[in-house]
Amino acid sequence: MAAIFGRRKSVPGRLLAPETATDAHYAIVKWINITGCPEKNKMISHVFVGVNDFDRAFKFYSAVMNELKHKLKFYEPDKPWAGWMAERMPRPLFLVGRPYDGNNAEHGNGQMVALLAPDRRSVDNAYTRALANGGACGGPPGLRAHYHPDYYGAYFLDPEGNKICVCCHDPAPR
């Protein structure tokens, strides 16, 4: 347990509060990595991004999701919609498609979807693939220590103007 929760000694069967916010962040990341926590994550079921040009959106998101090693769960161009998932994890899903109500999709100011990357190189590659497939720069890949010391992210707009972030929370490899 001490390896998970930082410098303080733990007592078997009891979790100690981390001393700093950074300790808390590292404790959570380590706990997730050790326990395989994703099946315990009950916060997000899915994210749906409305699009008007499904074919263009599918090409764009297929390139980005492939770079992040997310698997296509379904593709139904007649509806039209598609969904991706992390390998061996049925939830959360990332979905794109025409709005259910039949009206045009519109992006919102202040809304963003952040996709988790397995490492910093994947952030760089996903950003490059996004721009190569019709995306626009919203902030190039880089360290953003104002969020936390190891936050490495990139921001871009999909071809319809939806703001997307790809980020990695792990320390740089040594």
pLDDT at 110: 78
Say if 96 falls within a structural domain.
yes
pLDDT at 151: 95
The domain that holds 71 is classified in CATH as: 3.10.180.10
pLDDT at 41: 55
Q: Domain of 113?
A: 44-168
Say if 35 falls within a structural domain.
no
Asked if residue 89 lies in contact with residue 140, where contact means CB atoms within 8 angstroms, the answer is no
Query: How far is the C-alpha of 94 from the C-alpha of 101, rounded, in Å?
Result: 19
Q: Which 8-state DSSP code applies to residue 135?
A: -
Domains held by the chain: number: 1
pLDDT digits (tens, 9 = 90+) for 90-112: 889 999 999 988 899 988 877 89
Say if 8 falls within a structural domain.
no
